[in-house]
Structure 1
Amino acid sequence: MKETLVILAHPNIETSTINRRWKEAIEQQLPNVKIRDLYSLYGQNFQIDVQAEQDACEQAERIVWQFPFYWYSCPPLLKKWIDDVLTDQWAYGKDGDRLHGKELLLAFSTGSGAERYHREGRNKYTVEELIFPFRATSNLIGTTFLPPYYFNGAYVATEEDIQTSIAHYMERLRM
């Protein structure tokens, strides 16, 4: 299994339907996977320890951004993490190659069901179209963008749905 770092960004992890259960499963089943819970670390003041985050990323072969999909994007602290941590001359630019060759995986949940994420659905766009800025970021920083793992319908998920998603996510992390 690749050295994996999960950057978890959920502002209300205690009340989460999916992300909390994924986090617990990682802690129980994959103890070698490192989790950096951004809201636990920096949620009070959003003052990110850039050096600590860059060091953690440099140690990993695979970086996972795990979050609930809010307003067609990630929660604000993950966006700030991206802005602050992925710096010029470290993550991109002439000498910015520290993440080159690493894998980047998005793991996220949507509140709405899959039926809303297509041209005729309420959201008018597919999930793959909506996450394009993350793909562009991956390209800029030289990571291999893995097919995302996501769970649609967190608001209506059954226990069976949740258990299935946990099993599939753990399988993806073991790859």
Structure 2
Amino acid sequence: MAKVLVLYAHPRPDRSEINQPLFETAKGVQGVTAVDLYAEYPDFDIRVDVEQERLRNHDIIIFQHPFYWYSAPSIMKEWQDLVLEHGFAYGLHGKALVGKSFINVTTAGAKPEAYSADGLNHSDIRSLLAPFEKTADLCGMRFLAPFIMFGAGRALEENRLNVHRNAYDDLLKAMVADRFDLEKAAKAKQISDVLDDFILKGEAV
């Protein structure tokens, strides 16, 4: 069994149509520790020792957030700046995160075709999340392709909320049960609601 840590960031959860329900889903999965960073640190006074201990105690780290300005809400940058210290996360003696897996779970307002070489943003989301991938690399972590829910702004009116929630629930449970193909996910460009290709069959590994 793997231990999964979800670090959630949304500056306006009261206006969140997708991320807040997804976070509620995460809180209900056994084996998942779900932390709302804005609720826990409203003044950005991040307790580095607490966060580092959380990292030590988990195998898979998830940043769950809306895809704001091709990145994540500001508290996640603050969290990285303070928590991923030299000597802890990187450097000669910074080996605490080596071998752990990291993934962005994110919502995007645009449709999938907007995130392609020929689309509106001229790039896929994994490429746009390169700073997170390089951070994971520096820390000796396995970076997994982002799990993306597109068209988030229309999910409610198009009755897709339960589709996204069920997919996230499936993802988290597969990770906890060691049935999520981490190697395949590390090589993919993105992961969407269709998870069949990433769920291992038979005995857990």
Normalising by structure 2, report the TM-score: 0.80
SS in 1 for 2:172: helix
Per the TM alignment, residue 62 of structure 1 is displaced from its structure 2 partner at its CA by 0.8
| 1:118-137 matches, cutoff 5 A | 118-137=116-135
What is the identity percentage for the equivalent residue pairs of Structure 1 and Structure 2? 35
Greater RCO, 1 or 2 (C-alpha within 8 Å, sep 6+)? 1
After TM superposition, where is structure 1 displaced by more than 3 Å over at least 4 residues in a row? Answer: none
- Give the letter aligned to residue 98 of structure 1: A
Q: Show the counterpart of 1:35.
A: 34
- Conserved 8 A contact 1:2-1:174: no
Displacement after TM superposition at 1:139 (Å) = 0.4
* Aligned length, in residue pairs: 173
Residue of structure 2 in register with 1:53 after alignment: 51
Amino acid at match of 1:51: D
> 1-side partners of 2:171 and 2:136: how far apart?
18
Q: For residues 113 and 169 of structure 2, what CA distance do their matches in structure 1 show?
A: 25
In structure 2, what residue type is equivalent to 1:11? P
CA RMSD after TM alignment: 1.3
Name the structure 1 match of 2:6: 6
Per the alignment, residue 18 of structure 1 pairs with 18
Alpha-carbon contact 1:6-1:63 (below 8 Å) kept: yes
1:85-143 alpha-carbon deviations (Å, 9 max, x no partner): 01101000000000111111110111222121112222121112111111111100111
SS of the aligned residue for 1:97 comes to: coil
Which residue does 1:84 correspond to in 2?
82
Counterpart contact for 2:2–2:31, Cα < 8 Å: no
Task: Report the secondary structure of 1:51's partner residue.
Answer: helix
